[in-house]
Amino acid sequence: MDTKNLGFDSKLIHAGDFEDAFGSAVTPIYQTSTFAFRDSKHGADLFAGREKGFIYTRIGNPTIDALENKLAELENGYRGIALASGMAAVTTVYMALLAQGDHIVCTSAVYGPSRGVLESHFAKFGVESSFVDTSKLEEIEKAIKSNTKVLYLETPANPTIALVDIKKASEIAHKHGLIVVVDNTFCSPYLQRPLDLGADVALHSLTKFINGHADIVGGALVAKDEEVYNKLRKTMVYMGGNMDPHQAYMVIRGVKTMSLRIDRAQESSMKVAEYLENHPKVEWVKYPGLKSFPQYELAQEQMDGPGAMISFELKGGYEAGTTLMDNVKLALLAVSLGGVETLIQHPASMTHAGLSKEARLEADITDGLVRFALGIENVEDIIADLDQALAKI
Ligand SMILES: *Cc1c(COP(=O)(O)O)cnc(C)c1O
């Protein structure tokens, strides 16, 4: 079925579907590593690209292909590539678009490993990187050098929930001939479509909202044009970061309810953010749906909803943070986001515990900072859980 003109929710269900011999209602799992050719000519035609079909699962597979086509339609891109993890998507982008002597400009508060791998492995191969506050457009312009090839953005970025104006940042980058990559994990294509705003590649950790059930790890890239797509595809095939057919099946199953899940989690997030903003033990709350959010207007313009991630600062610092962690009962103490379970995390004692206090503060990880990722439980239960735990501080 041609799904191009259907609405977003219909695309979630039907885009990328193909008809199989038995009329299967859902995309079947082609759990095979290789595909037999009919004869020598068929094999030759497949390898030469004269005929469409499948050769070997690292290169392509019907189940994975269905997911890639669905994601490409959701992001309004040319084509998609599914990968083993979000980080496989990140490293594939770097590997495909950067060479020795090149330079990349990134959001400073980018996902930790996305920065770490540039500073360790890619630095080793002679790739330079700069990390700047990309919410300030002049910082982007200042950081671009003659050897800069890629602008890598994450918006909203963690834990500051700072937004980047994708449209304006892309205009600046394109003026200098750069390729713009946006990590769209925190929004999903339901809330933000970077390619429509001028970016060249949308990147996802499928682990989060897209799969949505905290039961697999996966990643994806969607390119706006054929040239960039071909570079990315070739790199994925060479580096071997491909997705597995079973993993693809799980994501296809999970993504179908994405808009319902996000609608519910967002509705609850707004109520929780308002509750926290009025709580005497809370110093501040950052959530793009609050009028007090510093980039409220940009959020309204660029995103179709404020998402389901809240950052807040407790007045009691480190100890208040650990007390809250030790007393919540419904929220799981866990990293990640975008699943149906509500997750809570205290970066100073958990994800960023390995850093010195100075390094933590430089990354805006204050002692009382809490990251809250809303699930889809009853909001009354989520608030009651926070309320009883906050009372223990
Ligand atoms: C989780 C995450 C990643 C990495 O994805 P994995 O699936 O864990 O490899 C990248 N970017 C963001 C914003 C993430 O939240």
- φ, ψ of residue 267 to 5 degrees: the values are -60, -45
- In the CATH hierarchy, which top-level class contains the domain 258-390? alpha beta
pLDDT at site 91: 98
CB 149 within 8 A of CB 98: yes
pLDDT at site 354: 85
User: For the chain, where are the E strands, in sequence order?
Assistant: 79-83, 103-107, 128-132, 148-154, 179-183, 201-205, 219-223, 282-286, 309-314, 332-333, 343-345, 369-373
Whether 58 is a known active-site residue: answer yes
pLDDT at position 10 over 90: yes
| Alpha carbon nearest to ligand 1 atom 7, residue | 86
Whether 183 is a known active-site residue: answer yes
Distances, alpha carbon 368 to alpha carbons 270, 282, 342, in Å: 21, 9, 19
Question: Measured between alpha carbons, how far is 321 from 92 in angstroms, rounded to an integer?
Answer: 36
Of 165, 183, 200, 385, which one is the catalytic site residue?
Answer: 183
Ligand 1 site, residue 92, Cβ cutoff 6 A: no
CA of 155 to the centre of ligand 1 (A): 13
211: pLDDT confidence band, cut at 50, 70 and 90?
very high
CB 247 within 8 A of CB 374: no
Closest CA relative to residue 140, chosen from 111, 192, 180: 180
pLDDT at site 389: 98
Residues 6+ apart with CB under 8 A from 312: 276, 282, 283, 284, 285, 286, 369, 370, 372
pLDDT at site 160: 80
**Mean of the per-residue pLDDT values for the chain?**
96
Name 369's bridge partners: 313
pLDDT at site 352: 87
Mean pLDDT across the stretch 93-122? 96
pLDDT tens digits for 16-25?
A: 999 889 999 9
CA of 47 to the centre of ligand 1 (A): 33
Give the CATH fold of the 8-30+61-255 domain. Aspartate Aminotransferase; domain 2 (3.40.640)
29: pLDDT confidence band, cut at 50, 70 and 90?
very high
Q: Which helix (H) or strand (E) holds 273?
A: helix 258-277
121: pLDDT confidence band, cut at 50, 70 and 90?
very high
CATH 3.90.1150.10 spans which residues of the chain? Answer: 258-390
283: pLDDT confidence band, cut at 50, 70 and 90?
very high
pLDDT at position 213 over 90: yes
Mean pLDDT across the stretch 296-301? 97
Mean pLDDT across the stretch 262-272? 98
| Alpha carbon nearest to ligand 1 atom 9, residue | 86
Mean pLDDT across the stretch 251-262? 98
Whether 38 is a known active-site residue: answer no
Residues 6+ apart with CB under 8 A from 121: none
CA of 53 to the centre of ligand 1 (A): 31
Mean pLDDT across the stretch 251-267? 98
Lowest-confidence range among 5-14, 80-89, 358-367? 358-367
Whether 94 is a known active-site residue: answer no
pLDDT at position 159 over 80: no
Question: Measured between alpha carbons, how far is 219 from 223 in angstroms, rounded to an integer?
Answer: 14
pLDDT tens digits for 31-74?
A: 999 999 999 999 999 999 999 999 999 999 999 999 999 999 99
pLDDT at site 81: 98
pLDDT at site 350: 92
pLDDT at site 34: 98
103: pLDDT confidence band, cut at 50, 70 and 90?
very high
Question: Measured between alpha carbons, how far is 41 from 24 in angstroms, rounded to an integer?
Answer: 30
Q: Which of 85, 108, 111, 182 has most ligand 1 atoms within 8 Å of CB, for mutation?
A: 111
pLDDT at site 316: 94
* Percentage of the residues of the chain whose pLDDT score is greater than 90: 93
In the structure encoding, which two tokens stand for residue 390, read together? 């906050």
pLDDT tens digits for 324-372?
A: 999 999 999 999 999 999 999 999 999 888 888 888 888 788 999 999 9
Torsional sign, CA 72, 211, 272, 160 = negative
Amino acid at 334: A
pLDDT at site 1: 80
